[in-house]
């Protein structure tokens, strides 16, 4: 498991919902972490699979 900058970020990144396999379809998913690139993004819930990059812990 990846260590994140704080407990709040870890909670948001690791949050999983039983009803949604895809974080883009889950209205409660707010933060996406891409381990391959070690990048964070705020999920844009517009029906697609896009996000806004985050450069530091909000």
Partnered with residue 33 across adjacent β-strands are 40
The predicted pLDDT at position 29 comes to: 87
Task: Give 9-52 pLDDT, tens digit per residue.
Answer: 888 887 766 778 888 888 888 899 998 998 999 999 998 999 99
pLDDT of residue 52: 94
Pair of tokens at residue 50: 């896009």
CB of 34 within 8 A of CB of 4? no
Q: With the C-alpha atoms ordered 37, 43, 54, 58, is the resulting torsion angle positive or negative?
A: negative
- Spatial CA neighbour of 13 closest among 29, 37, 36: 29
- Check residue 1 and give its pLDDT: 64
């Amino acid at each position: 498991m990846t260590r994140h900058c704080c407990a709040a970020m870890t909670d948001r990144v690791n949050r999983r919902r039983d009803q949604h396999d895809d974080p883009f379809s889950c209205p409660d998913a707010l933060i996406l972490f891409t381990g391959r690139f070690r990048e964070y993004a705020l999920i844009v819930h517009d029906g697609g699979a896009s996000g806004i990059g985050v450069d530091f812990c909000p």
